[in-house]
Structure 1
Amino acid sequence: MKERLTDALYGLGWSAVKKLPEPAATGLGRRIADTAWKRRGKGVLRLESNLARVVPDAGPERLAALSQAGMRSYMRYWMESFRLPTWDQERVRHSVHINEVHRLTDGIASDRGVVLALPHMANYDLAGVWVTRALDTPFTTVAERLKPESLYDRFVAYRESLGMEVLPHVGGSAFGTLARRLREGGLVCLVADRDLSASGIEVKFFGETARMPAGPALLAQQTGALLLPVTLWYDDTEVMQGRVHPPVDVPETGTRAEKTSVMTQALADAYATGIAEHPEDWHMLQRLWLADLEEPRA
Structure 2
Amino acid sequence: MWKYLLIWSCVRLLGRLPTRVLYFLAAVAAVLTYLFAWRLRRNVLDNMRHVMGPSTPKKEVRKAARQVFVNWAKAYADLVHMPRMDVSKFFDQKLAYHGLEENLLPALTDGRGVIITSAHFGNVEMGIQAFLGKGIKMTVLTEPIQPPRLSRLIDGLRSSKGHAFLPVGIGSIKTLLRTIKAGGVVGLMCDRDIEGRSIRVPFCGTPTSMPVGVVELANRTDATIVPIFIHRKNGSACEAFIEPPLELTNSGDPQADLETNVRSLLERFEAHLRRDPGQWTVLEAVWDAQEDEKP
With structure 1 as the length reference, what TM-score do the two structures score?
0.90
Once the two structures are superposed, the pairs formed by residues 42-53 of structure 1 within 5 Å of their partners are 42-53=39-50
Once the two structures are superposed, the pairs formed by residues 273-288 of structure 1 within 5 Å of their partners are 273-288=271-286
Which residue in 2 is equivalent to 1:121? 121
Contact 2:195–2:213 at 8 Å: present in 1 too? no
Q: Deviations over 1:188-229 (max 9, x none)?
A: 111121228763122210111122222111121122111122
Mark the CA change 1:253 to 1:22 in structure 2 (over 3 Å): closer, same or farther.
closer
Which residue in 1 is equivalent to 2:67? 69
SS where residue 146 of structure 1 aligns?
Answer: coil
**Given the alignment of the two structures, is residue 177 of structure 1 paired with residue 175 of structure 2, yes or no?**
yes
**Given the alignment of the two structures, is residue 107 of structure 1 paired with residue 107 of structure 2, yes or no?**
yes
Deviation at 1:254, TM superposition (A): 2.1
Deviation at 1:277, TM superposition (A): 0.7
**Given the alignment of the two structures, is residue 39 of structure 1 paired with residue 42 of structure 2, yes or no?**
no
State the distance in 2 between where 1:291 and 1:45 align: 12
Deviation at 1:243, TM superposition (A): 0.9
Contact 2:190–2:266 at 8 Å: present in 1 too? no
Unaligned 5+ segments in structure 1 are none
Which residue in 1 is equivalent to 2:149? 150
State the distance in 1 between where 2:274 and 2:155 align: 31
Deviation at 1:283, TM superposition (A): 0.7
Which residue in 1 is equivalent to 2:138? 139
Q: Deviations over 1:226-256 (max 9, x none)?
A: 1122222123454211212222122232233
Which residue in 1 is equivalent to 2:51? 54
Mark the CA change 1:180 to 1:90 in structure 2 (over 3 Å): closer, same or farther.
closer
With structure 2 as the length reference, what TM-score do the two structures score?
0.91
Q: In structure 2, which of residues 12, 26, 40 is the aligned counterpart of residue 29 of structure 1?
A: 26
Q: In structure 2, which of residues 12, 15, 33 is the aligned counterpart of residue 15 of structure 1?
A: 12
CA RMSD of aligned residues (A): 2.1
Unaligned 5+ segments in structure 2 are none
Mark the CA change 1:96 to 1:180 in structure 2 (over 3 Å): closer, same or farther.
same
Moved more, 218-227 or 46-55: 218-227
Paired residues, what number?
A: 290
Q: Deviations over 1:120-179 (max 9, x none)?
A: 1023221221122x2202111112221111101102221221212233312x55333312
State the distance in 1 between where 2:7 and 2:236 align: 24
Contact 1:196–1:211 at 8 Å: present in 2 too? no
1:68 alignment partner AA: R
1:104 alignment partner AA: L
Mark the CA change 1:158 to 1:198 in structure 2 (over 3 Å): closer, same or farther.
closer
